Structure 1
Amino acid sequence: MKSLKLIIAISLTAIVGFTSCQSEESKEVGTNPNTNSSTSTTASNYERAAKNDGSEDDFLDGNSCTELLFPLTATVNGQQVTLISKLDFSTVLNIMGEFNDDSDAVTFNFPISVKTSSYSEVKINNQAEFDTLKQECEQAESDGKNAISCIDINFPVTMLTYSISLEQTGTVVVQTQEQLHTFMTDLESDELFAVNYPINATLSNGTSVQINSDAEFQNAISECAQYQEEKEEAKETAVEVEAILSGTKFKVESFVTAGVNTANDYADWSIEFTNDLKVVAKNVVNATLNEVEGTYTVSSEMDAFVNINFASNTAVSALGNDWFVATYSNTLITLKSKTDTSVTLVFKKI
């Protein structure tokens, strides 16, 4: 947008697909207190919210600023995998999830192509170039310039453009996230803009919101960022709890149901969580009793969860439940039932 005349607006439409309705005779000429410069907080918020989000494949590339493009081939924990689409992510995740006490290793067969947060497609020829992009992303995160991925703006959105004298010079109807990013990054120092509110957006917690001002947009970002932070903390808790459980034997320190502690019923049993997501109960007093084998998974949402599943009609069946992690340390893990928080189970490391 080097000029705001009608003929340039038409050219802009042809280049980036904007629906531009710039006018030399605007009915809205005059002062608008909601105008923003290209260096304003609002401009930064919209530019970051419009960045290409590359976080979906972070388990592969560890870089939220780049989106892997297909096809590509990688070696995952020693197994070569060719990915044609996102549908192949499940294959990689299954390989990574086979054992939960190993360090997952991913090596790409270069060259590969990625799409950056600014929607540029880049060919990466070697590991050094790959590492450089990752370092640049980490720097952007440190500087607060990475993508804001917790809010999805519902398009179209209309931007009103102004001169530095606050005279409206036109409108631009933005149809996509990429077009919004182009609009924001193309703003010149002598150009101002205002968002034609209200707009609608969807937050990462699933909430749909109507936004009526720049301040409300900032508040929506703060709300969803807090949600994302709590979700990330729960994820980190799940990783730590899984590491404590995996390959370790425990005893039932406490098991309270209906206000009664029944831990003595399990005094003769050890509970071992294996590294391949099996849980094995073994009677350490009576060796003639068969081991009881079940399964477990550790997951997270806003809390960390441990799902334990034993077959019915066994000595340890009652320990099977959907639990959330209340507290934990390297030696003690306290679980509460997701459906009845008065039911608590405490494992102590043997």
Structure 2
Amino acid sequence: MKNWILVFFIAIGVMFISCQEEERELIDPNVDNTIPRNSQLASLMKSVVTHDGSFDDIVDQGHCFSIKLPYRILLNGEEVLISSSADYQRISVTDIVEIQFPVIIVESNHHENLVENITELEGFINNCIPNDDDIECIDFVYPILLSTFDSNSNRFETIEIGHDSQMFNFMSGINETTSISINYPIKLVLHNGVGVAAQHNTELLNEIIDAASICDENDG
């Protein structure tokens, strides 16, 4: 019986070491799939998940934020509920639009702010930077698994990312002691609905660069 117990604990130990080695391989700084904190890929990934607020500019005139749905406007004096992106197709540049305050706006960093009146809204509009860093032409398909290693605590961790805001906050919070890597393959979707896949860092970098170079941004 003691021999069987000894064999059991040896087997558990071997499995534990093997799992650690597998995770270590995913984020070994010498492996191509590691993403340095200040690398071009890390910067572009953050740009992809920066909130694009240009889709509702016909209402709020601020490309660096959007108004959180649902909310109401007066469209040529008639009250209209804006509950989906499709509702913006009903509005033309010649229409008279009045936002019914208060509304909540979502900024480029995904932070939300309550706006009580047109004066407050104009303050946010004036703070928008022309041609900001957001990449509107390609999006991640979630969930995405990331592996991390903290050299201070010597701790490995796998994190599931399920939304742009979560990815943005994660990429913004990476410190100098943390190494990250993506658990490939991952999927992305282009602005025209075509799906693409990346098997490693170089493919992901090229897909983002290619997408950003062939479509128009709405940050004028």
TM-score by length of structure 1 reads: 0.48
| TM alignment of 1:96-115, pairs within 5 A | 96=92, 104-115=95-106
Instruction: State the shift of 1:69 in Å.
Output: 2.3
Distance in 2 between residues matched to 1:177 and 1:57, nearest whole Å? 18
- Say yes or no: does 1:79 pair with 2:77: yes
Distance 1:218 1:122, change over 3 A: same
| 1:26–1:168 Cα contact (<8 Å) kept | no
Instruction: State the shift of 1:164 in Å.
Output: 4.6
SS in structure 2 at match of 1:197: coil
| 1:69–1:115 Cα contact (<8 Å) kept | yes
CA offsets per residue over residues 225-244 of structure 1, 9 Å max, x none?
22213x87xxx9xxxxxxxx
Distance in 1 between residues matched to 2:36 and 2:127, nearest whole Å? 26
Distance 1:215 1:168, change over 3 A: farther
- Say yes or no: does 1:173 pair with 2:160: yes
Instruction: State the shift of 1:84 in Å.
Output: 4.3
Distance in 2 between residues matched to 1:222 and 1:62, nearest whole Å? 27
The CA RMSD over aligned residues, in Å, is 3.0
What is the match of residue 156 of structure 1? 143
What is the match of residue 299 of structure 1? none
* Greater helix fraction, Structure 1 or Structure 2: 2
Distance in 2 between residues matched to 1:202 and 1:53, nearest whole Å? 15
Distance 1:218 1:134, change over 3 A: farther
Identity %: 25
Distance in 2 between residues matched to 1:189 and 1:128, nearest whole Å? 40
1:138 to 120, 124, 129: 129
Instruction: State the shift of 1:74 in Å.
Output: 3.0
Distance in 1 between residues matched to 2:176 and 2:126, nearest whole Å? 29
| 2:59–2:99 Cα contact (<8 Å) kept | no
Deviates further, 205-214 or 28-37: 28-37
SS in structure 2 at match of 1:27: helix
What is the match of residue 119 of structure 1? 110
Distance in 2 between residues matched to 1:214 and 1:227, nearest whole Å? 21
Q: Which amino acid letter does the alignment assign opposite residue 77 of structure 2? A: Q
Distance in 1 between residues matched to 2:189 and 2:87, nearest whole Å? 27
What is the match of residue 41 of structure 2? 42
**Structure 1, gaps ≥5 residues long:** 1-22, 237-350
Instruction: State the shift of 1:201 in Å.
Output: 0.9
Distance 1:202 1:71, change over 3 A: closer
Q: Which amino acid letter does the alignment assign opposite residue 124 of structure 1? A: V
| 2:139–2:188 Cα contact (<8 Å) kept | yes
Bigger CA radius of gyration: 1
Name the structure, 1 or 2, with higher relative contact order (CA <8 Å, separation 6+).
2
What is the match of residue 298 of structure 1? none
**Structure 2, gaps ≥5 residues long:** 1-16
Distance 1:220 1:194, change over 3 A: same
Instruction: State the shift of 1:71 in Å.
Output: 4.2
| 2:53–2:107 Cα contact (<8 Å) kept | yes
SS in structure 1 at match of 2:126: helix
| TM alignment of 1:227-306, pairs within 5 A | 227-229=214-216
Q: Which amino acid letter does the alignment assign opposite residue 125 of structure 2? A: K
| TM alignment of 1:145-224, pairs within 5 A | 147-164=134-151, 169-224=156-211
Distance in 2 between residues matched to 1:210 and 1:69, nearest whole Å? 30
What is the match of residue 66 of structure 2? 67
CA offsets per residue over residues 162-188 of structure 1, 9 Å max, x none?
2358x7722212223332222212222
| TM alignment of 1:299-338, pairs within 5 A | none
SS in structure 2 at match of 1:159: strand
TM-score by length of structure 2 reads: 0.73
| 1:26–1:170 Cα contact (<8 Å) kept | no
Distance in 2 between residues matched to 1:193 and 1:132, nearest whole Å? 37
SS in structure 1 at match of 2:21: coil
